[in-house]
Structure 1
Amino acid sequence: MVAERATALGHQVTKIAVANAIEALACFVALQALQGNRDSRVRGSTKLAGRTLQEFSFQNASRPSFYVSQPMRMATVTTLPALGLVEASGSRFNGFSCSEAGLAFVEAASVEYRPYNRSLVDHLLQWVLGKDDRLNGDALPMALSPMTPLPPEALVLLRERLHQGAPTSQSWERQRRSDALHWVASRGLGAAPVDWKEKPALIGNASHWADMRAGAYFFAARDAAHDVLNAVETHMGTPENRLSLASKVPKRAHAPLTELREKTRAFLDLEHEDMEANTFCREVVEQSDMEILRRLVDRDGRILRLVGQHICAGPAFQGSREETSEVDIEESPEPEELEWPENISYRIPNIWWLSQDLDGRLSDCLSPSAEDELPEVAYG
């Protein structure tokens, strides 16, 4: 929305750059309020450490190195179109434009806050244009902070989007999403464990539960395949080394390969109809260990790649070095009292957290450090 208006005024900015800069600012003001505490709703505690509000011109905040390399925005690429909050000309974020439902949601979420006697969107537009860098006061931090609860009207609109989805969504998609939301919302802390053997009553369609189960089994096979590739990468050690397809499989890959075969057989035993998943799993159970390695590397191409009859380092190769990352991500905390079926899609726990937020119970589920009343902070 802000990027579209800036572009209409002749400024060449991308939607990704604007969204990342606004997210960086939002997390910064939240971190200032946290004063050293952590909250799973806020990213950038490492990347933004030591920065001051005076550094937050749009020109600075929109630089790729200014904020985390995997912002929260990246997780919205499939969600926003599915809920009808944007109109998408493709699958890329830069191809999104706010729908009427999206505009209504932003208005409802920000109507209570008027930084410098402007709407939130108007002030952020002036910030992006470089015409007003004022970021202090109370209204802007409260409007942007991921820790600020949504107003009731915005919650109503969000719940409506969750149940209705995009105008182009099929009825079965809407029903499945509604069933999943009702099911997870019914599970309070300390709820009895659930496994794949019995479909919950609130999941109305047996095929929905079967698809969720098949997805979990395939996720397990996918993770096992990653473990195989990681073992080969570690065996190679440095980018200069390579592994001949005519040689023996490295010993450190034996156990991961055995695990991969077990996971793929378990998926095939479900007799699910997903053709691509079945093809992958059959390739594993029917081929030799080295042929499995060859096919996995051929599918990968990033960490490892095929060059003739050798497995070589790819552009993302790390080898035996300790894993390093600039990604500043705090995973959503998972209550120890709440158990999900093994390997269930990450979307299900995420929907559970969202349901707690919609019902005003989120603060009761977060860590004590996030529940404590935070001191007031001057943003001058």
Structure 2
Amino acid sequence: MRLFNELAVPGLGGVWFGKQLFLATLGVLVAEQANERGCQVTKIAVANAIEAIACWLALTGEPRTSGGRVLGSTKIIGHDSYSFSKVSQSNFYVTTPMRMTTVTALPALGLVETSGNRFNSFSCSRQGLELVEAVCQDSRPFNKSVVEHLVQWVCGQDDRVDSGRLRAALSPLTPLPPHARLLIQARLHQGTSREAESSRRRRSDALRWVESRRQAAPPVGWDSRPVQISNPEHWADLHAGALFFRVRNAALDVLDELEIYIGTPERKYAFGASIPARVQDALTSLNSVAQAFLDLNHHSVEARKFCSECVSDSAVEVLSKLVGRDGRILRLVGTNICPGPAFHGGEQPEEVQPESNDAPGAASHGWPDGISHRISNLWWLSLDLDGEIEAWLNSENKEATHG
């Protein structure tokens, strides 16, 4: 899955609007400066805490359509303190912050420098500093620069965060200044010298393609490569990815039907017993889409291996391989398929589900069937960089409301 998403739009990660890149870069910069002053903090803790405050500022500000840009609404409102020591606690904010979607993007776009792929190893680059300055230059909370105030906040020297000027800079709902949008756009096209030229070209081509769709370029199917995608191999990888995503979904359908069939933690399915009709139907669909992927003869060894497992003539072998890969909801015990530790019998658990970092859907925007979600993410990012995301989110929200 990661391979096909990376082949679709290299270096984008899960980013779909500009403030994600800014807030994560700001977290790296503030943590670096705080550590230089003797405050021992990790970059992950600082970036998560700044993101939490950014979302709190958005939630306590002027109501706007968030479209998924604000997380933590059930956890971060109503506290008596918003000091760094409080906000940086692991249970204060969401378990999957937006920062996690940027771990690939920050180094690929040159906003940080790193010798590894861990967020705590990042250091803010010149381009990252330029982005922070472009966003924060007109905001001086409590008569200090945004970076200076946040460094003091992290070091416990100033716990104030309720500031309109800080909200203007940090809130995920406030637009990026024009210069900051241009900087990110340049980063998307140029990447870094450490990145392969083919990766920069793919990301740049994909950006031009999604931009063309907003300029009345006609939608295309898989049999018609858009002119903006200059490399036929890129289009072939996008198509292969779409087929593989269908295989993944079909495999999950099989497991879902098995979970429903078992129904309770006390039941099990024994190999050799007749296969339930709904499970058999799901297996037939899985076989069809897996064979369609194999017919492409794509170069991914792991994807071909998985699809080969899904087209076996032995239903028992297919089920065994799928459940073996799962192990959480369903697990193998000898010749039986039994409930795993996350088993729910096909029903959703009662506890609150974690908030999603996903961009709004883009099914109506004319993409070929099954294409990587990174194309949709890039669509929304391009809207943000053109200052149009708010209007589109409001439009889609109205359509969803009025049906």
| TM-score greater than 0.5 by the shorter chain | yes
* Structure 1 contact 228–257 (Cα < 8 Å) conserved: yes
Match of 1:13 in 2: 41
**Alignment partner of 1:209 out of 206, 222, 235:** 235
Q: Which residue of 2 aligns with 1:234?
A: 260
Q: How does 1:360-371 map to 2 (within 5 A)?
A: 360-368=387-395
Q: Tell me if the contact between 1:305 and 1:312 (Cα under 8 Å) persists in the aligned partners.
A: yes
Corresponding position: 1:22 with 2:50 = yes
2:244 match: 218
Q: Check conservation: 1:233, 1:320, Cα contact below 8 A.
A: yes
Equivalent residue letter for 2:72: G
Call closer, same or farther: CA 1:29–1:262 in 2, change over 3 Å: same
The answer as to whether partners of 2:64 and 2:173 remain within 8 angstroms in 1 is no
Number of residue equivalences? 369
Select between 228-237 and 351-360 the one with higher mean Cα deviation.
228-237
One-letter amino acid of the structure 2 residue matched with residue 46 of structure 1: T
Retained in 1: the 8 A contact 2:83–2:160?
no
Structural mapping, 1:1-380, within 5 Å = 1-35=29-63, 38-48=66-76, 50-52=77-79, 54-188=80-214, 192-323=218-349, 324-329=351-356, 331-334=358-361, 337-368=364-395
Alignment partners' CA distance in 2, 1:36 and 1:186? 28
Tell me the SS of whatever aligns to 1:178: helix
Q: Distance in 2 between matches of 1:287 and 1:15?
A: 51
Q: 1:288: how far off? A: 1.4
Q: CA deviation at 1:34?
A: 4.2
1:378 match: none
SS in 2 for 1:306: strand
Q: Is the 8 A contact 1:39 1:369 kept in 2?
A: no
Letter in 2 for 1:321: E
Q: Corresponding residue for 2:16?
A: none
Cα RMSD, aligned residues only: 2.4
Distance 2:264 2:153 in 1: 46
TM-score by length of 2: 0.84
CA spacing shift, 1:336–1:270, aligned 2, 3 Å: closer
Deviation for aligned residue 1:366: 1.2
Corresponding residue for residue 375 of structure 1: none
Aligned counterparts of 1:97 and 1:247: Cα–Cα separation in 2: 58
Bigger Cα displacement from structure 2, 39-48 vs 114-123: 39-48
Residues 27, 43 of structure 1: 8 Å contact kept: yes
TM-aligned CA distance change 1:208 to 1:145, over 3 Å? same
Distance 2:247 2:51 in 1: 34
Return 135-144 or 182-191, whichever deviates more: 182-191
Alpha-carbon offset, residue 119 of structure 1: 1.8
Residues 302-323 of structure 1, C-alpha deviations (whole Å, 9 max, x = no match): 3333343333333433333324
Q: 1:122 Cα deviation (Å)?
A: 1.6
1-structure distance, mates of 2:265, 2:124: 44
Moved more, 141-150 or 188-197: 188-197
Secondary structure at the aligned position of 1:312 is classed as strand
The residue that corresponds to 2:9 in the other structure is none
Q: What is the CA-CA distance between 1:142 and the residue it aligns to? A: 0.8
- Tell me the distance in 1 between the aligned counterparts of 2:359 and 2:215: 15
Contact kept, 8 Å, 1:353 with 1:362, in 2: the verdict is: yes
Q: Does structure 1 conserve the Cα–Cα contact (< 8 Å) formed by 2:66 and 2:173?
A: no
Q: Does the CA-based 8 Å contact 1:46-1:328 persist in structure 2?
A: no
SS state of the match for residue 93, structure 2?
A: coil
Q: Determine the C-alpha separation between the residues in 2 that align with 1:161 and 1:10.
A: 32
The CA distance in 2 between the partners of 1:5 and 1:233, in whole Å, is: 51
Q: Match for 2:377: what amino acid?
A: N
Shift of 1:67: 1.8
CA separation in 1, counterparts of 2:267 and 2:38? 51
Q: Which residue does the alignment assign to 2:13?
A: none
Shift of 1:196: 0.7
Where structure 1 has 5 or more consecutive residues not aligned to the other structure, the ranges are 372-380
For 2:139, give the aligned amino acid.
Answer: Y
> Any conservation in 1 of the 2:210–2:382 contact (CA below 8 Å)?
yes
Partner SS, residue 123 of structure 2: strand
Q: Tell me the SS of whatever aligns to 2:207.
A: helix
Structure 1 residues 335 and 244 mapped into 2: Cα distance closer, same or farther (>3 Å)?
closer
Given that residues 68 and 360 in structure 2 are in contact (C-alpha distance below 8 angstroms), is that contact kept between their aligned partners in structure 1?
A: yes
Q: Write out per-residue CA displacement over residues 306-359 of structure 1, whole angstroms, 9 at most, x where no aligned residue.
A: 343333333433333324543123743346652211110000011111111112
SS at the partner of 2:256?
helix
